[in-house]
Amino acid sequence: MRPQLRQISLKANSTPYSPSFLKKMFGLSHLPDTGLLVKGDQEFFNRVAPEYLDGQSISGVQKKLFMDLEGDYLVPVKGHGRFIVKPAPENLAHLPENEHAMMQLARFCKFNVADNALVPFENGEFCYVTRRFDLMKDGRRLFVEDAASICNVHSSNKGSDNLSYEGILRALYEASGRNMAVIYNGVRQVLFSYLIGNNDLHCKNFSMYRNPDDMTIRMRDFTPIYDVLSVAPYREYYNEDLTLCVLETELDAVFSPSYEIAGHYTFECFLTLATNLGLAESASKKLITQLCLDVGKYFTPVLEASSSPDKHIISNHIKEKLSRLGRYID
């Protein structure tokens, strides 16, 4: 069945938001006649950013601001607004359209995804907008901690060659009180990033949460996914398939036999990752197979419906990565 693309508003204001999405994302019963806009333009955003970030920190290298909805506009706010707004970096054109499309693909592949949308500046240039998942209805905030903090890794080493996904996921598993869902969801995140070309999956892009009234320091599970994109269109930044090594043994230059033969990650590599972390082999094979099938089913219609001008580059990249694993998929 073809996915219901309208429900995720792939083309922002050019395709009407579904009523349920509009209510959930923006708290609105109908779209304003002029559509939603981000106040100003990129120049305005860059000019006011220092004022509104005074004393605040929003992690990541992309410029971003907290914003709230005032009338038909998303406007910067001091303190913690309900939305985080990211325009395209100067050297990464159309990154908002890219990230929005990849987040929708993640949603169709059954990931828990932060609510997000494309909203243009007043000059029509798109911004990527995500609604904050850590703000609770009663005004309290979830306690959120990223893997760098949990694993005592300095932010400057978030993508270190001395780290592996196997080691990071094992540490997060322990931090959750050995919740096997963390292993299952973590392996899926690594594999999905490999398939779409997200080589920006570093320690600070894994986050976990616990509720503010929890009487323990134990983390519950991963937060919704909030920072997923394909670096494939930006060749100067695509010098490796993933940020970290997949397996712990790779830190000592010991790769899987199939990697040694093929020269790249294969089905066997991700199967070894999952089984090393405690998943049964049958469950691991099912996990990998199903995610590959889901990506294969949805990436074409999602990209066709997206606003990204780089959809063909991303599509070809995904086809190549699926072909690396596809010979093992029934």
**Domain contains 136:** no
Furthest C-alpha separation in the chain? 60
pLDDT tens for each residue of 170-199: 999 999 999 999 999 999 999 999 999 999
**Domain contains 16:** yes
**Domain contains 113:** yes
Query: Which residues, at least 6 apart from 121, have a Cβ–Cβ distance to it below 8 Å?
Result: 37, 38, 39, 40, 41, 42, 45, 87, 127
Boundary of a domain, candidates 131, 162, 183:
131
User: What pLDDT does residue 327 have?
Assistant: 57
Q: SS3 of 277, please?
A: coil
Query: What CATH number does residue 169 fall under?
Result: 1.10.1070
Q: Categorize the per-residue pLDDT at 263 as very low, low, confident or very high, splitting at 50, 70 and 90.
A: very high
**Domain contains 159:** yes
The total number of structural domains in the chain stands at 2
Q: Are residues 273 and 253 in the same domain?
A: yes
The residue type of 23 is K
Please check whether residue 13 is in contact with residue 32, taking contact to mean a CB–CB distance below 8 angstroms.
no
Q: Are residues 22 and 115 in the same domain?
A: yes
Q: Which residues pair with 151 in a beta bridge?
A: none
Q: Note down the domain range covering 11.
A: 5-131
Q: Are residues 162 and 93 in the same domain?
A: no
Q: SS3 of 298, please?
A: helix
Alpha helices (H) along 55-146: 95-108
Boundary of a domain, candidates 110, 131, 152:
131
Boundary of a domain, candidates 86, 111, 131:
131
Computed over every residue of the chain, the mean pLDDT equals 89
More confident residue, 17 or 303: 303
Q: Are residues 107 and 17 in the same domain?
A: yes
User: What pLDDT does residue 227 have?
Assistant: 87
Q: Are residues 96 and 185 in the same domain?
A: no
Rounded to whole angstroms, how far apart are CA atoms 237 and 231? 7
Q: Are residues 265 and 155 in the same domain?
A: yes
Average pLDDT of the residues in 301-314: 96
Q: Categorize the per-residue pLDDT at 5 as very low, low, confident or very high, splitting at 50, 70 and 90.
A: very low
Using a 10 angstrom Cβ sphere, with 0-12 exposed, 13-18 middle and 19 or more buried, the burial of residue 278 is: middle
Q: Are residues 127 and 149 in the same domain?
A: no
Tell me the Cα Rg of the chain: 20
**Domain contains 137:** no
pLDDT tens for each residue of 30-66: 888 778 999 999 989 988 887 876 545 445 557 899 9
User: What pLDDT does residue 54 have?
Assistant: 59
Vertex 185 angle, CA 184 and 189, to 5°: 120
Q: Are residues 176 and 249 in the same domain?
A: yes
pLDDT tens for each residue of 80-103: 799 999 999 888 999 999 999 999
Alpha helices (H) along the chain: 19-26, 42-52, 95-108, 147-150, 165-175, 180-196, 257-262, 267-276, 281-305, 311-326
Q: Categorize the per-residue pLDDT at 319 as very low, low, confident or very high, splitting at 50, 70 and 90.
A: very high
